[in-house]
Structure 1
């Protein structure tokens, strides 16, 4: 079957221009319209379900599909996106994929039926046919926090490599040599990126990564607790545990406390993703903080540019390390000098 990309290639125009012609959503020259329609006829192109759902009139609404609404990171991200969208005159309709590809596609279809002007998507690991159709049919689309290989979609994300390096240096400076890592799912870009950065930074700082100190979870508290239990049951347990997100850190904290162990006296604990309640624990938790509100703001700005038909470049912000007492040092913010 011919795709909208095939039509665009034959007509010598962009995918967005083909969508404008087929949906009569923006003015194009008569000559361009004729070329597009001729290519449609020659290829026998028929718009699929996504194309049929593209709006013909702006609705002032954008869709946001997030990974897990119970994760404080995504909750804050949605709030930031909603605040920025309101400033720009948009309403936001939110769907919670619960890290499931089928639920993600369900909410995407629902949002298309509501004629959203564009879509912000924190994609699951799987490239579904519906997501591929979104790209092929030129719907204004921006990925948020995560990437999908092989899809040409602008992404707004934070790079945590430098912050992970700062954490490893911090742990080494405190005398910790046996450092364990609980990663997120390898199928998710965020899971892979954090694992790769941890391995690189451990090697760069001259610290060995013992295979038994590498655990994997699913960005949920239960998996963090189970992984921590396995780590603490080792004949030589780690001196420090780095959890790949805030919920797995919570699970790790539960297991450490259930065993009557002290943080950081018996085991140090650090988390990727900072959340407000980390500061209220005793001891407060050292964490890598992503610029969540800026991520939400920049994602909406990028989507607004796509809706307007303008070019959009990927956005990469930087996470930062926030040092507190859970690894053995008096509370201070990295780089603050306090």
Structure 2
């Protein structure tokens, strides 16, 4: 026979209302009492009636997460990080993978906001906020991840990689590497715009002309590995890949070509975890705090749903640059071919 809420209350030696408050997060309950209730729920295999809870609270206890590419390790990790936070508040996660397709993104938003979920966290591919807003009811709880859109009027948690990207480029150029290929994501999203702007700013500052600036946009139609090969053929002696998946592909390309890191080419990467950093040959990296972003986005959407707070906030997390002592340990000081002085020295730093 299916366990009832009365069975849980009796097992935990608490009132039925206390069990309800624990399960629905509708009132403060001490940690000791909460544990007794949840132990009883697990032991009895009790499953609350979702339809009844929806009727009483008006909530579905579901949150949507809309991501552009579920195969990207960044978004795969974010799914887990968001879910860790919201599940502790009794919410379940509904995931929609839009495959970098705006039409699919709009369709997902319409579907999720039609009564399926209580709020949505999204990493959007749209170019403006109005495109998103028009797909859902007014004042629907919404939090953006890693995106800043024009006509902004929403909550978001973003990464600020400007200073870290500048440091990576400055050190690369300072060590003689001036022909730098720069691999980035979709051109219309804010992280790409930010990183390209910094790349252009730093290269212009060092007198590197526009025709020697090698920016490449990666999407589903062009392969990172092939783009890296093309840039190497063009004579690039340094490549920067701006996410973990790209960095893996670029390193694979360099390895397959038999190029020596630090002698024939330098790779800079953006990484989203300590694991990725440790296993990337100790190359210079920009560390993106993706786990912190996922947790913060989860906290923000729950707060938006629970408190119905109509104020909007943007929270920024700083990225950090770490050279991993790459230039000191592995790089021969270059005067790269194509500079005014084409002499190349082989003395290791």
* TM-score of the two chains, using structure 1 as the length reference: 0.72
Cα deviation, residue 91, structure 1: 1.5
Cα deviation, residue 222, structure 1: 5.3
Cα deviation, residue 147, structure 1: 2.4
Match of 1:141 in 2: 142
Cα deviation, residue 255, structure 1: 2.2
Q: Root-mean-square deviation (CA), in Å? A: 2.7
Match of 2:278 in 1: 279
Seen in structure 2, the aligned counterparts of structure 1 residues 258 and 182 have a Cα distance that, compared at 3 Å, is: same
Post-superposition CA distance 1:115-172 (Å, at most 9, x none): 3111111111355976222466111111111122224222111110011112123223
Return the alpha-carbon distance in structure 1 between the equivalents of residues 223 and 327 of structure 2.
Answer: 25
Return the alpha-carbon distance in structure 2 between the equivalents of residues 209 and 169 of structure 1.
Answer: 16
Match of 1:253 in 2: 251
Match of 1:31 in 2: none
Return the alpha-carbon distance in structure 2 between the equivalents of residues 233 and 95 of structure 1.
Answer: 38
- Larger-Rg structure: 2
Seen in structure 2, the aligned counterparts of structure 1 residues 79 and 211 have a Cα distance that, compared at 3 Å, is: farther
Seen in structure 2, the aligned counterparts of structure 1 residues 200 and 280 have a Cα distance that, compared at 3 Å, is: same
Match of 1:263 in 2: 261
Q: How does 1:94-113 map to 2 (within 5 A)?
A: 94-113=95-114
Match of 2:312 in 1: 312
Return the alpha-carbon distance in structure 1 between the equivalents of residues 238 and 223 of structure 2.
Answer: 17
Return the alpha-carbon distance in structure 1 between the equivalents of residues 231 and 59 of structure 2.
Answer: 53
* TM-score of the two chains, using structure 2 as the length reference: 0.70
Seen in structure 2, the aligned counterparts of structure 1 residues 221 and 239 have a Cα distance that, compared at 3 Å, is: farther
Number of equivalent positions = 272
Cα deviation, residue 247, structure 1: 2.2
Contact 2:129 2:152 in 1 (8 A): no
Partner of 1:138, secondary structure, is coil
Cα deviation, residue 241, structure 1: 0.8
Seen in structure 2, the aligned counterparts of structure 1 residues 146 and 263 have a Cα distance that, compared at 3 Å, is: same
Partner of 1:328, secondary structure, is helix
Contact 1:185 1:216 in 2 (8 A): no
Seen in structure 2, the aligned counterparts of structure 1 residues 89 and 56 have a Cα distance that, compared at 3 Å, is: closer
Comparing 94-103 with 216-225, greater Cα deviation is found at 216-225
Post-superposition CA distance 1:58-99 (Å, at most 9, x none): 122111111211111111111111111122332211111111
Match of 2:203 in 1: 202
Cα deviation, residue 285, structure 1: 3.2
| Alignment counterpart, residue 303 of structure 1, candidates 297, 301, 313 | 301
Contact 2:237 2:266 in 1 (8 A): yes
Seen in structure 2, the aligned counterparts of structure 1 residues 159 and 209 have a Cα distance that, compared at 3 Å, is: farther
Match of 2:324 in 1: 324
Task: Give unpaired runs (5+ residues) of structure 1.
Answer: 1-54, 332-338
Comparing 296-305 with 120-129, greater Cα deviation is found at 120-129
Seen in structure 2, the aligned counterparts of structure 1 residues 301 and 277 have a Cα distance that, compared at 3 Å, is: closer
Q: How does 1:1-338 map to 2 (within 5 A)?
A: 57-113=58-114, 115-127=116-128, 131-134=132-135, 137-204=138-205, 206=206, 208-218=208-218, 223-234=223-234, 237-275=235-273, 276-281=275-280, 283-307=281-305, 308-310=307-309, 311-324=311-324, 327-330=326-329
Return the alpha-carbon distance in structure 1 between the equivalents of residues 175 and 221 of structure 2.
Answer: 27
Match of 2:37 in 1: none
Seen in structure 2, the aligned counterparts of structure 1 residues 218 and 179 have a Cα distance that, compared at 3 Å, is: closer
Seen in structure 2, the aligned counterparts of structure 1 residues 215 and 223 have a Cα distance that, compared at 3 Å, is: farther
Partner of 2:111, secondary structure, is helix
